[in-house]
Structure formats: structure tokens, C-alpha cells
Amino acid sequence: MPSFLGVDLRGHLDLMLLATLRDVGPAHGYAIIASLRDRSLGAFDLPEGTVYPALHRLERDGLINSEWDADAPRRRRVYQLTTAGARALAAKRQDWRDFARGMQVILGHGATQEYG
Amino acid sequence: MSEIERYLDELFDRLAGQGAAGRRTLAEAEDHLRAAAANAVASGLSADRAEHDAVSRFGSPAMVARKMRAAHGARRLNRALSAGWLLAGLTFTGLGAAYVVAARRLALQPPSCTVFLTSSCYLRGHITSAVSSAAIAASSGTILLLSRWLAVRYAGLAPARRGFASTSAMLLVLTAVFLGIMGWPPALHILFLQWPLSPILIATALTECIAVAVSLADSRPRQHLP
């Protein structure tokens, strides 16, 4: 099961992929995964092959698009965020912030002190 | 044979039946695994160890193929919904054509009672009924087709395959017109009272099933690899 610091990532992978594409710009699958791992300081634990079905799903939904990179030494698909994807990312970020704020309230002041 | 080669062979087997999506997945997996192995070798690992690590991190071929099938499965559902919606619109339009044919037939022939027509056998009433039914069916078909077009345009519903709509439309209209000529004017009360025995309902339902099956079988993305 994909996890980040022990938290199940299912349901959040799409958000992370969209955010990565927003930050790094057009990128192929390996670069997207490498960026996710680097930005999480190695804590991002995900079977890398699961990223591609997620990318295909996001493309099917019109949130990203892709094309073959003609300059790459091997066949390589490059993905980038669409306008609809940027809008969806903004909406999901707000949802996530609301969720995190709610969790913070539920976990209480002790959790704030313990984890900073 | 290297570990990456073995992995790709197994993934190829697991992706069987996924068409262009499977080929694309295989190409992306190969690029990913070779890039990961090359980076690991560059950082000092042996080639064998680098390939082993790359394959291990990627996940099992069965898992990747299963997730890829699931990712494209929803697309098939979308296409099936789109095809069903289209066929429903075309069916009602075809029914409208059948009513027009039936009305014309009634206008040309002397009144006669059939198992479908009720007691009065009053010619003018049947013609009026057929014409009004034609208007209702054609309006319903138009609304369905228009709403589907809007759903495709604005709500992400999958468009029809090239040739699918025209072929289905021709088939359904021909079926409906044939039924009208054969003396089965699809009066609305017959559709309700004798369902599911009404011949036109059975014919249109069978046609829809066949067309949806064809749509599903043809639903793989036709994305040709350059």
C-alpha cells in the first residue's frame, strides 16, 4: 500500500501528481516520481509503477495531457498540467487545507506541541 | 536475459488485451526502468543490482497491469454510457420515422382492425394517433441527442467512434421503417400494454445490445504510437 510517513496515500496521489507537475513543469513519469521522492526527503514510499495508471487516469479526465518526446533517446511520454488540471488542483488544495485544519482541531493542542 | 527484460516480458503478457494503452504502458515502463537503472549505476551500483532495485521499486507486473486496466475501465464505462445514450436518442428518432411510415400506410389503405389496434378501428383516429406519436417520439429523440451532445461538449462524456453514430442511425431508422412498412405501427399504448412482447421493442432492444457490445469491443483508445 502506498504510504507517506505511514499514512495511506490512496486518494491523495492525484493531488500530489498535479502539484508536482505544476511545480516542475512538463515532465516524464520517472522525473515526476523522482521529484516526489526528493521533495518528501525520501519518505515518499510508492510502488513506482502505480504512478503511470494514475497519470493515465488524470489524462483521461482532462487534468493533464501528454505527448511523446521526440528528442529522448528512448520512447518517453511527457506530461503537463492543463488549465482544467490547474483549476482542479486549486480546489483540491483548499479541500486538503480544510481537512488538515479540521484534523488539527480534532487532534488538539497536544498534537500541535508534539509535532510542531 | 537481464532482469529488466524479464520484467518487461511478463508485463507485456499481463497487459495483453489492453491495446494501445498497453503498448504505451510498456514503453513507459521500459523508459522508467532503464532510466532508474542507469542512474543507480551512475551512483556506483553494479548493473545487476541496479536493475534488481529498479524492478523491485516499480511493483509487480500483475499489480501494474491491474491498475492500468482499472484506469481505463472507467473509460469503457463512459463510452458504454455514451453509446447507450446515443442509441436511445436514435431509437426514438427511428420510432418517429416508423410512426410517419405507419401514418402514411394508414392513409393509403382502408381501415382494418389488427391485434395492435383497439376496438374502434377509426381510420382518422389512427392516423392522428400515429402522427402525434411520431411527433412525441421525434421530440424525445431530439432532446436525447441534444442533451448527449451537450454532455459530450461540456461534461466529459466520451464522443462516439467515427462511423458508429451514422451506422447505428442507419440501422435503427431502417429497422423502424421496415417495421412500419410491415404493418407494426408502434402505437404508444401497444408499447406499454404488450411489453415485453412488442416486436419493435424486442427489435430495438436487440439492436441496442449489439451496438453497445460493438462499442465496448471497440472502446480501446486508438492512439497510434508514432
3-state helix, strand, coil in chain A (%, to 5): 60, 15, 25
- Give the span between the Cα atoms of B120 and A101, in whole angstroms: 73
Q: Please answer whether residues B19 and B225 qualify as being in contact, where contact means their C-beta atoms are separated by less than 8 angstroms.
A: no
More confident residue, A60 or B214: A60
* Cross-chain Cβ contact B74/A28 below 8 Å: no
Task: Specify the pLDDT at position A61.
Answer: 86
A76 touches chain B (CB under 8 A): yes
Nearest CA in chain B to A55: B71
Mutation to test the A interface, candidates B32, B34, B43, B72, most A Cβ within 10 Å: B32
Least confident of B63-77, B101-115, B168-182: B101-115
| Shortest CA gap B207–chain A (Å) | 29
* Cross-chain Cβ contact B27/A75 below 8 Å: yes
B30 touches chain A (CB under 8 A): yes
* Cross-chain Cβ contact A48/B32 below 8 Å: yes
3-state secondary structure of A44: strand
Q: Does B53 score more than 90 pLDDT?
A: yes
**Option in A28, A33, A53 nearest B68 (CB):** A53
* Cross-chain Cβ contact A47/B28 below 8 Å: no
Task: Specify the pLDDT at position B214.
Answer: 58
Task: Specify the pLDDT at position B189.
Answer: 43
Cell of A106: 480534532
Amino acid at B46: S
Strands across the sheet containing A64-68: A27-28, A77-81, A64-68
Query: What are the helix (H) ranges across B109-163?
Result: 123-154
Mutation to test the B interface, candidates A28, A36, A52, most B Cβ within 10 Å: A52
**% of chain B at pLDDT higher than 90:** 24
Amino acid at B214: V
Task: Specify the pLDDT at position B59.
Answer: 93
* Cross-chain Cβ contact A60/B75 below 8 Å: yes
**Option in B35, B63, B75 nearest A49 (CB):** B63
Nearest CA in chain A to B65: A53
Task: Specify the pLDDT at position B106.
Answer: 64
> Residue A66: pLDDT band by 50, 70, 90 thresholds?
very high
B70 touches chain A (CB under 8 A): yes
Q: Does A55 score more than 80 pLDDT?
A: yes
Burial of A8 (0-12, 13-18, 19+ CB in 10 A): exposed
Q: Does B161 score more than 70 pLDDT?
A: no
More confident residue, A13 or B152: A13
* Cross-chain Cβ contact B58/A48 below 8 Å: yes
Contacts of B27 in chain A (CB under 8 A): 74-75, 77
> Residue B80: pLDDT band by 50, 70, 90 thresholds?
confident
* Cross-chain Cβ contact A48/B36 below 8 Å: yes
Task: Specify the pLDDT at position B225.
Answer: 35
Task: Specify the pLDDT at position B58.
Answer: 95
Q: Does A97 score more than 80 pLDDT?
A: yes
Task: Specify the pLDDT at position B137.
Answer: 78
Mean pLDDT of the B3-11 span:
95
B36 touches chain A (CB under 8 A): yes
Q: Does B193 score more than 60 pLDDT?
A: no
Task: Specify the pLDDT at position B91.
Answer: 77
Half-sphere exposure of A26 (CA within 13 A, CB side): 8
Give the contacts of B13 (CB within 8 A, at least 6 positions apart).
B61
- Report chain A's mean pLDDT, rounded to a whole number: 83
More confident residue, A66 or B106: A66
More confident residue, B163 or A114: B163
DSSP annotation of B158: P
Cis before B186 (ω within 30): no
Q: How many CB pairs under 8 A join A and B?
A: 77
- Give the span between the Cα atoms of B169 and B92, in whole angstroms: 11
